[in-house]
Structure 1
Amino acid sequence: MTEDDIALIEAARGAALNAYAPYSDFPVGAALRFADGSVVTGANVENASYGLALCAEAVAVGTAMAEGHRGGLVAVAVTGPGDAPITPCGRCRQVLNELASLGGTDPDVLCVGPSDVRTVKLSALLPDAFGPDNLG
């Protein structure tokens, strides 16, 4: 694991501290690293109407897009509570794929647990992904 990966994990853990998770008590943090070295974070935001909750990865992608990032995604770190590394949910895998597709990257996804980190390519988490190229 590189120093950049360690810093990305720490950014995700820091973001989890800002999670709003009163219903699940499952705070999640995500951090995205881009080719230019910039890092964007997000935390999950729950809602009393459960279906309106936002995952940490989706918040981070929305923030990144609002800041003008279009592609260049090289790594993602996701962390949450529990005993094992967590992976992005299916919806977030698709959201991450959209951003990665804009730059033609296949980012490393660092699935972080309390003492273990599993690194996997986004394409392995979402094989045969549907993306912008499928539209025409």
Structure 2
Amino acid sequence: MLSLAELELPTAADIELIEFARAVIDANTDAGPNEDGAHTMGAAVRDAAGRMFAGVNLFHFTGGPCAELVALSAARAQGGRDMTTIVAVGNHGRGVVGPCGRDRQVLFDYYPGIRVLLPTAQGVRVVTIEDLMPFAAAWTMEGGTQQFNEERFC
């Protein structure tokens, strides 16, 4: 596992992605400051062609989709392929938020090598999903849970 000192600093393109996600959730949140709502998180993803796609969460007690999964689905629906970077932000200036466990597993299984923007005590930093999920068990639609693959972890 990487130490905080080893994490990448965000690039100008990463900052642009954060601002895009922030603009989307700020324009579409249904909750005031310190209020609950169904749409309180935004996410943005960038593909290898440089296109950005966004989504917002849909909170529900049954486990509605997180903003990251909605952004990934929106990207796919709009022709986005080969996702390279993802970020989630909270409404009302709450800043960058790391993906939940379910989102991390989905990213790990479907988007090997994707860069994830994370909050840290020293500001936003960047890791690959493999660095975020050391020793994770991969899953595929064809074969279910896979054996450990050391090539995915440096």
Measured against the shorter chain, the TM-score band is 0.7 to 0.9
2:68 to 42, 57, 77: 57
Offset at residue 28 of structure 1 (A): 1.3
Q: Which residue does the alignment assign to 2:88? A: 78
Q: Residue 12 of structure 1 aligns to which amino acid in structure 2?
A: A
Aligned 8 A contact 2:39 2:59 in 1: no
Distance 1:28 1:83, change over 3 A: closer
What is the identity percentage for the equivalent residue pairs of Structure 1 and Structure 2?
Answer: 36
Q: 1 or 2, which has the higher helix percentage?
A: 1
Q: Which has the larger radius of gyration?
A: 2
Query: Runs in 1 of length 4+ with deviation above 6 angstroms?
Result: none
Matched, 1:95 2:102: no
Q: Give unpaired runs (5+ residues) of structure 2.
A: 1-9, 145-154
**Count of residues in correspondence between the two structures:** 128
Q: CA deviation at 1:6?
A: 1.1
Alignment of 1:1-136 (within 5 A): 1-17=10-26, 18-20=28-30, 23=36, 27-47=40-60, 50-70=61-81, 72-80=82-90, 85-101=96-112, 106-112=113-119, 116-127=123-134, 128-132=136-140, 135=143
SS of corresponding position for 2:23: helix
CA distance in 2, matches of 1:20, 1:2: 30
TM-score by length of 1: 0.75
Supply the AA of the counterpart residue of 1:92: D
Q: Retained in 1: the 8 A contact 2:39–2:58?
A: no
Length-normalised TM-score, structure 2 = 0.68
Q: Is the 8 A contact 2:39 2:56 kept in 1?
A: no
1:42 is paired with a residue of what secondary structure?
A: strand
The CA distance in 1 between the partners of 2:96 and 2:58, in whole Å, is: 20
